[in-house]
Amino acid sequence: MSSLLSFLWRNYKCQYPSEVSKQNDAIRIGLLGASNIAPAAVIVPAKAHPEVIVAAVAARDHKRAQAYAKKYRIPIVHDSYQALLDDSAIDAVYIPLPPGHHYEWAIKALEAGKHVLLEKPSVSNGEEAAKLFRSPLLSKPDSPVLVEAFHYRFYPAWQKLLSLIDPGNIVEAHSASYLPKGIIPLYDIRCQYKLSGGCLMDLDLDDERALKILTSTGTYNVSILRQVFGTEPEECLEASYRGMPPGYDKEIDQAFIAKWRFPNGGIGSMDADMIADGGYSIPMMHEFPRIQLPKLEIKHREVVVDEDTLPSGQEHALQKTVIFWNYLLPHIYHRIDIVEKRTIRSTPSADGRVFKSWTETSYVKEYSKKDGPESITTYSAQLEDFVNKIRKRPVFEWVGLEDSVKQMEMIDGAYKKAGLPIRPSKAGG
């Protein structure tokens, strides 16, 4: 009962944090677009941060922007994205537009001297990523801050996961995530090639819907594999996709499977589907929407453990597997399983006979930073470090500029391997 009450209270506080008074020099953020993700990503976390004010919004549909501002108590509605960027009272912007528009408006924001929190995927392809993240606008000591919003990385549970693995000793890592069929309509912006849509590119939901399905998929899978191995892959070994039904955009992937080889010889793989069904043992449910927590499974090579108490000619072998359930929205719920398969056997130079074998399983949850509250979300943790970076204070986690370039290059490589075109570039325009 106490666990249930803790779960309910934590999620209530995440959704409805206590509002705090604002500092006189609070960072004033403007929203480009009246998006579904902004409330979870910025608006709600800002309520509990004394140094952040969501001050303005602009959208292509001005009436929508006005209704959005009224709903979320945003004081200023600008007539256009450019008008918001021209507002000298705005210090930073959040860009959750379709990926095909990210490059254009991120560059314009930097030119206007605004700090930028940029939704993932950062841009449409590797070419745009190189132009944006290596821009001279970012090379000066007083340059604006630009960061790609991989919010899961800022949460303590993800950092805990990284502390439990040995990247150089990983033999296999697999990331699987599915969005149930029926959540994303086939005409959605994520299903339009000209807007740089596709399952491998992006799929993100606001927390209100995510609370109902506890799942998501997209470019996260690529980011997670790069994080787990701690480096870039040497080669994309395999990539395949399931396309859209007849009559819809034939260059869009609604599901994607890929496999990479990393420098340590380990294999990283992913399975993502933004219109998923099946996965059930009951035949009549094979076409039902698939509901499954995002799952990351990391298998290590077997190692020999130092143990002085063993008789001569015997050794203690350990093979560890770490499983992270719901790595994308861990503030709602998560669990990290540590499975250790142990064997006492004679050494290979002898007969290799097994004397004893057993499995030890332990579970870890990490909902707060050291001495911090459990009511933080991945988004509030991200916003906190965005502010810290602007203020030139130490950060808990950060997504570097080159990191975002490598991310898009890995996505491009997978699309090419699958026989799909990379998403269209607007970097030249």
pLDDT band at 209 (very low <50, low <70, confident <90, very high): very low
Contact of 207 with 237, CB cutoff 8 Å:
no
**pLDDT value of residue 286:** 67
Long-range CB contact pairs, 282-291, < 8 A, 24+: 289/180, 289/181, 289/182, 289/183, 290/178, 290/180, 290/181, 291/178, 291/180, 291/213, 291/214, 291/215
**29-43, 87-101, 197-211, range with the lowest pLDDT:** 197-211
Average pLDDT over residues 321-330: 95
Beta-bridge partners for 345? 315, 354
Beta-bridge partners for 322? 298, 338
DSSP 3-state of 74: coil
Does residue 339 carry a pLDDT above 70? Answer: yes
For residue 116, what is the enclosing H or E element? strand 115-118
**37-46, 156-165, 212-221, range with the lowest pLDDT:** 212-221
**Hey, what are 51's tokens?**
């140094």
d(CA 383, CA 364): 25
**Hey, what are 289's tokens?**
């929407």
- Mean residue pLDDT of the chain comes to 90
d(CA 134, CA 132): 6
d(CA 417, CA 388): 39
Contact of 327 with 151, CB cutoff 8 Å:
no
For residue 120, indicate whether it is catalytic.
Answer: yes
Average pLDDT over residues 37-65: 96
- pLDDT tens for 234-276 read 999 999 999 988 988 899 999 999 999 999 999 999 999 887 7
**306-310, 381-385, 391-395, range with the lowest pLDDT:** 306-310
Burial class of residue 343 (count of CB atoms within 10 Å of its CB; 0-12, 13-18, 19+): middle
Q: Which residues contact 83 (CB under 8 A, 6 or more apart)?
A: 58
C-alpha torsion angle, residues 91, 96, 99, 101 (rounded to 10): -50
Contact of 205 with 39, CB cutoff 8 Å:
no
DSSP 3-state of 8: helix
Beta strands in 252-408 (DSSP E): 253-261, 267-276, 295-300, 303-305, 314-325, 335-346, 354-364
Does residue 215 carry a pLDDT above 50? Answer: no
Contact of 364 with 160, CB cutoff 8 Å:
yes
pLDDT band at 187 (very low <50, low <70, confident <90, very high): confident
- pTM, full prediction: 0.92
DSSP per position, 221-251: HHHHHHHHHTS--SEEEEEEEEEPPTTS-TT
Does residue 285 carry a pLDDT above 80? Answer: no
- pLDDT tens for 26-44 read 999 999 999 989 999 999 9
Which of 22, 71, 114, 120 is flagged as catalytic? 120
Contact of 50 with 73, CB cutoff 8 Å:
no
Letter string b/e over residues 238-275, b meaning 16 or more CB atoms within 10 A of that residue's CB: ebebeebeeeebebbbbbbbbbbebebebbbbbbbbbb
